[in-house]
Chains A and B, each alone.
Chain A
Amino acid sequence: MGAIGETSTQLAIRDPDTRLMIGVRDDEPGAFEELVARYQGRLVGVMHHLVGNAEEAEDLAQEVFLRVYRARKKYRARAKFSTWLFTIANNLALNALRARQRKPAVRFDTRDSGPLGARPAEQLLAASSGSQPIRRIQQNELSDVIRRALDALNERQRLAVVLNKFEDMNYAEIAEVMGLTVKGVKSPLCRARMNLRDALKDYVFMDGRPIPKAADE
């Protein structure tokens, strides 16, 4: 191994999760359990944002952990562990989304009872049982609108958004996960943000702050 390889390995080993994964690779007792405990929340969350369905998100997250375990002996500490993990997650999610496109099926989200969201009776039921019913309905509606805006992005844009926003990854890390250059990440992220802005423009300034006037308006 050359000097550059050693440096990247030394850098990677500063990451506690990379060291944990080396423990998994070497079959240290309890290492894999700790890895699952550390990452299950993040992984299920990211998968849910990508596929939009809680049950499928858990199945995919579980499959990611299985693949990590099966591939553990081949693991080499060359980058942050999370980057490697989310690269596997990315590939699985993309496969799942493409399989879904080939076999379109009507999907019912647990939060949505119909194609237009929760039915009025269900909204009333939720309202009658909550301490701040109106506010809760507004928040549910808002999150459904945002969910639909996110779902409307293409796969690359959605993944870039989810990794950047919810995993707090920088462009270099996103590039590694998505197999792109750093410059190649700027484009889908920019298009995604512009598409989201257009989809959500009617909701953006609902906190009472005035919409800023553009000079050419």
Chain B
Amino acid sequence: MSKQANLNNDEWADLTAYLDGELDSNSARSLEARLNRDPAVRAEALALQKTWEMLDYLPQPGPSTTFTSRTLERISVLRPAAVRPRESGLRYPWSFGIGWAAAVLLAGSVGFTGVALLAPRPGGHSHLAQTDPAVLERQLVQDLRVIENKRLYEQVESIEFLKELADEDFFGDDG
């Protein structure tokens, strides 16, 4: 490998890091000073930069037209079957109604228990949220907009003031 400029391995690594915008500001200033006074280092930097830009000539291959469908088809085998179509009619037609009633009862009790355990309560998080990272993540996704604007909300004295700001008539009609 030809090294025209007099650089050691660390300096070469710093030069490429500089070109990638990954050098800290002090080291970058020092390297810029060297680039200004040393044409050999400058020539190397330019050659490295131009070589890097040449990679843009590589074609950017994309997926074939059938890729999505083939992938989702393979995934569908792994998916738990939510509803399996029945080949024939119901063997016991009366069982359909009883089944539905049982399902509604079960869903109601599961829903009530779930809400009681998982729903965020004023003044604190649920017990599960503190122990289960998956539940915590779900809560964070739900509350993301509030979290992101927390600093702004802290500056506001009351929620009524925010509502007034959102009122179209507050600043008059400029249309």
Contact = CB atoms under 8 A, between A and B. Distances in A.
A32 B61 contact: no
A193 B137 contact: no
Contacts of A65: 71, 75
A19 interface: yes
Given A70-B78, A146-B54, A22 B141 contact: yes
B137 A197 contact: no
Tell me which of B17, B40, B50, B62 has the highest count of chain A C-beta atoms within 10 A of its own C-beta: B50
Contacts of A214: 4-5, 39-40, 43-44
Contacts, number: 163
Contact of B67 (A44, A69, A165, A190): A44
Given A165-B52, A186-B13, A204-B50, A216 B40 contact: yes
B70 A62 contact: yes
A40 B71 contact: yes
Interface in B1-27: 1-2, 4-6, 9, 12-13, 15-17, 19-20, 22
A26 B78 contact: no
B74 A62 contact: yes
Contact of B20 (A142, A143, A189): A189
Interface string B115-155: 00000000000000010011011101100100110000000
Specify the main secondary structure of chain A where it touches its partner: helix
Contacts of A164: 20
Contacts of A49: 58
Contacts of B38: 215
Interface of B: 1-2, 4-6, 9, 12-13, 15-17, 19-20, 22, 38-40, 42-44, 46-48, 50-52, 54-55, 57-64, 67-68, 70-72, 74-75, 78, 130, 133-134, 136-138, 140-141, 144, 147-148
